[in-house]
């Protein structure tokens, strides 16, 4: 099952400072623990700061108030122990699929043959065999996201940070990718923190869902969402549907609040 707390977030606040105008409180007193090998979803309406929290964990934004500990050590910047996957893929367009996947591996001191082998293994894992020498501009959205996932998995991060990775894909590709992500997670058993605004996706993929409030973002509730994901019809079981409804009503309140803030 899951291990002890791997990531500890304590009383973290974050201010968003626009180039003009006053600063805005984006996150308020976030406290959260993520266990080893757990799949946790961060769910909330637009603007609630869920991506910001992910970036703080990733070290892309500095933690100014409170602390974030990963494996007992405070986060000081980005690093290969927390791999990130972005919604818009962030592939290097001038590199082929293979070169993209190799990039992270090149930063680690591995012998060349091993690097190439690992890269190929992950390209195969995400089902892109045969496309190693294609450029991102030649790939479909789903294929680009698979490349991004392969690239991040290749350098073997303990934790996977995913920022609405399937948001830019069409509905069919999205459900295919969700199932694939679960099977990859089963195989590699990493800690995953998955940001989304899609309730169904959160309940389906995650073991726990942290529902966030509208801005300033707080952790409203954490809901347990363990189901037998190997059952292909799991999303039709009563337990699942009830859970989705439960989480949805939590989110709906916040979504309405977020809307009201936009039009005073």
Which spans of this chain sit near another protein (rule: CB under 8 A)? 17, 19-20, 22, 55, 58-62, 77-80, 82-84, 86, 88, 90, 92-95, 103-104, 107-108, 135-138, 151-152, 155
Collect all residues with Cβ–Cβ distance below 8 Å to 88 and sequence separation of at least 6. Answer: 168
Query: For residue 113, which phi and psi values (nearest 5 degrees)?
Result: -60, -40
Q: If you ran DSSP here, which 8-state letter would residue 213 be given?
A: P
Nearer to another protein, 137 or 230 (CB): 137
Closest separation in Å from C-beta 84 to another protein: 5
Task: Calculate ∠ Cα 256-205-160, nearest 5°.
Answer: 100
Closest separation in Å from C-beta 103 to another protein: 6
CA distances from 213 to 108, 126, 229, 246 (A): 39, 34, 27, 15
Nearer to another protein, 104 or 216 (CB): 104
Rounded Cα–Cα distance for residues 205 and 165 (Å): 13
Closest separation in Å from C-beta 184 to another protein: 18
Closest separation in Å from C-beta 199 to another protein: 25
Closest separation in Å from C-beta 138 to another protein: 6
Q: If you ran DSSP here, which 8-state letter would residue 16 be given?
A: E
Closest separation in Å from C-beta 80 to another protein: 5
Nearer to another protein, 56 or 128 (CB): 56
Nearer to another protein, 16 or 227 (CB): 16
Give the burial string for 47-58 (b: 16+ CB within 10 Å, else e): bbbbbbbbbbbb
Nearer to another protein, 193 or 219 (CB): 193
**Alpha helices (runs of H) in the chain, residue ranges in sequence order:** 50-58, 97-106, 112-125, 141-154, 171-188, 199-205, 238-262
Collect all residues with Cβ–Cβ distance below 8 Å to 241 and sequence separation of at least 6. Answer: 235
Nearer to another protein, 6 or 96 (CB): 96
Q: How many CB atoms lie within 10 A of CB 255?
A: 17
Closest separation in Å from C-beta 94 to another protein: 5
Nearer to another protein, 109 or 263 (CB): 109
Rounded Cα–Cα distance for residues 182 and 189 (Å): 10
């Amino acid at each position: 099952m899951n291990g002890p707390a791997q990531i500890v977030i304590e009383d973290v606040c974050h201010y968003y400072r626009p180039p003009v105008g006053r600063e805005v409180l984006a996150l308020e007193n976030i406290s959260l623990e993520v266990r080893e090998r757990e799949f946790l979803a961060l769910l909330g309406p637009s603007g609630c700061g869920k991506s910001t929290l992910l970036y703080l964990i990733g070290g892309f934004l500095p933690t100014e108030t409170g602390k974030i500990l990963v494996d007992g050590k405070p986060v000081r910047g980005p690093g290969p122990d927390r791999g990130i996957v972005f919604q818009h893929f962030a592939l290097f367009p001038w590199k082929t699929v293979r070169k993209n996947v190799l990039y992270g591996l090149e930063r680690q001191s591995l012998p060349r043959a091993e690097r190439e082998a690992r890269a190929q293994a992950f390209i195969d894992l995400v089902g892109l065999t045969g496309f190693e020498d294609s450029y991102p501009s030649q790939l479909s959205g789903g294929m680009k996201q698979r490349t991004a996932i392969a690239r991040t998995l290749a350098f073997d991060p303990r934790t996977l940070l995913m920022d609405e990775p399937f948001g830019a894909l069409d509905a069919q590709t999205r459900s295919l990718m969700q199932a694939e992500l679960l099977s990859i997670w089963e195989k590699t058993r990493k800690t995953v923190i998955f940001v989304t605004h899609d309730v169904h996706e959160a309940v389906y993929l995650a073991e726990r869902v942290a529902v966030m409030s509208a801005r300033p973002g707080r952790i409203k509730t954490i809901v347990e969402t363990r189901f037998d994901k190997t059952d292909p019809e799991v999303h039709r079981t009563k337990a699942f549907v009830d859970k989705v409804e439960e989480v949805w009503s939590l989110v709906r309140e916040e979504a309405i609040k977020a809307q009201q803030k936009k039009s005073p």
